[in-house]
């Protein structure tokens, strides 16, 4: 866990509301694992007061990449940064995805909804290196919500896309596409990141199929490193469900550990 106050943006791409930055930060890149995240200061002035959590989309050759969608003030300010300017990064934070050696030679599913695809690129690269065969499912509202399709394909992976409006790939929710695919194929593991409803749906699928899985959860974060207790969710770890810190114990949790929000509220 480090603070890099002089991380330089060396590349910037954008597609509508989505942005991808490559940022030079050798020490953070050297330690980063898929599923971990950064807390980013979006501006040198107040407001906004707090840093914003953004997943590590990739880490390679002394640089990290982030992929994000503008969701409000903080991400809008972040999007305004230009190549050559510096950023203040805190990371890598949290516990990432588990990639076990026994996945070697096995097919595994990585399911990303919208901006949730961000950490799955990094994960898919690691899975591939381990010798697993990742299949990436990438769902969006329309084809404009799938800017990373080519980048994923360039990794040499099988990529299946879905859109709610049918403008690209499978027409319907990504969960339906995964469900359909599971009728004929039996992956050894499933990883997912995306909207809560998508992940909860996938969790039910996995339970029915006895498919082990991990999910990357979101929460509003005050600090990102365990100091504020603001980011908690109900998690079953070692027995009874209790409030665990998403930033420290997660953001990635196992299928059996998560108490889905609707259940908790109901």
Partner 1 sequence: MVDLSVDLGFLKLKSPVLAASGTFGYGLEFKPFYDLNALGGFVIKGLYFSPREGNKPPRLVETPCGLINSIGLQGVGVEKFCQEILPQLAQLDTAIIVNVCGEDEDEYARVAEYLNHYEGISAFELNISCPNVREGGRCPAQNPEATYRTVKKVKEVSSVPLITKLSPNVTDIVSVALAAQEAGSQAISLINTILAMAIDIENRRPRLNNIFGGLSGPAIKPVAVRMVFQVARAVSVPVIGMGGIFSAEDALEFIMAGASAVQVGTANFVDPDVCLKIINDLKNWAEQHGVEKISNLVGCVKI
When asked if residue 14 is in the footprint of ligand FAD (CB under 6 A), the reply is: no
With CB cut-offs between 5 and 8 Å by kind, which of partner 1, ligand FES, ligand FAD, none does residue 115 bind?
ligand FAD
When asked if residue 53 is in the footprint of ligand FAD (CB under 6 A), the reply is: yes
When asked if residue 30 is in the footprint of partner 1 (CB under 8 A), the reply is: no
Least distance from C-beta 245 to partner 1, angstroms? Answer: 9
When asked if residue 81 is in the footprint of ligand FAD (CB under 6 A), the reply is: no
When asked if residue 51 is in the footprint of ligand FAD (CB under 6 A), the reply is: no
Least distance from C-beta 266 to partner 1, angstroms? Answer: 13
Residue 51 or residue 57: which is nearer to ligand FES going by CB?
51
When asked if residue 229 is in the footprint of ligand FES (CB under 6 A), the reply is: yes
* DSSP letters for the chain: -EEEEEEEEEEEEEETTEEEEEEE-HHHHHH--TT-EEEEE--SSSSS-S-EEEE--EEETTEEEEEEE--SHHHHHHHT--TT-EEEEEEEESB-----GGGTT-EEEEEEEGGGGHHHHHHHHHHHHHT-EEEEEEEESSGGG-TTHHHHHTTT-EEEEEETTSSSSEES-HHHHHHHHHTT---SEEEEES-HHHHHHHHHHHHHHT--EEEE-----SSSSSSS--SEEEEESSSSEEEEEHHHH-BEEETTTB--HHHHH-
When asked if residue 72 is in the footprint of ligand FAD (CB under 6 A), the reply is: yes
Task: Give residues in contact with ligand FAD (CB under 6 A).
Answer: 37, 48, 52-55, 67-69, 71-75, 115, 118, 218-221, 251
Task: Give residues in contact with ligand FES (CB under 6 A).
Answer: 221-224, 226-231, 245, 247
């Amino acid at each position: 866990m480090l603070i890099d106050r002089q991380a330089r943006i060396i590349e910037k791409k954008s597609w509508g509301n989505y942005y991808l930055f490559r940022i030079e930060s050798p020490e953070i890149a050297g330690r980063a694992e898929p599923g971990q995240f950064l807390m980013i200061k979006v501006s040198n002035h107040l407001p906004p007061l707090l840093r914003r959590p953004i997943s590590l989309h990739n880490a390679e050759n002394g640089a990290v990449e982030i992929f994000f969608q503008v969701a409000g003030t903080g991400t809008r300010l972040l999007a305004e940064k230009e190549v050559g300017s510096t950023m203040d990064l805190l990371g890598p934070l949290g516990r990432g995805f588990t990639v076990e050696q026994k996945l070697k030679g096995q097919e595994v599913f990585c399911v990303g909804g919208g901006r949730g695809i961000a950490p799955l690129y990094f994960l898919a690269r690691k899975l591939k290196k381990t010798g697993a065969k990742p299949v990436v499912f990438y769902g969006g509202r329309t084809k404009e919500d799938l800017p990373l399709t080519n980048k994923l394909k360039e990794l040499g992976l099988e990529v299946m896309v879905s859109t709610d409006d049918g403008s690209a790939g499978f027409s319907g929710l990504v969960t339906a596409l995964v469900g359909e695919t599971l009728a004929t194929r039996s992956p050894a593991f499933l990883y997912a990141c995306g909207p809560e409803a998508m992940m909860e749906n996938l969790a039910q699928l996995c339970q029915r199929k006895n498919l082990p899985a991990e999910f990357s959860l979101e929460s509003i974060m005050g600090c990102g490193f365990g100091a504020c207790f603001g980011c908690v969710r109900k998690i079953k770890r070692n027995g009874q469900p209790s409030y665990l810190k998403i930033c420290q114990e997660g953001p990635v949790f196992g299928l059996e550990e998560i108490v889905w929000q609707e259940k908790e509220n109901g």
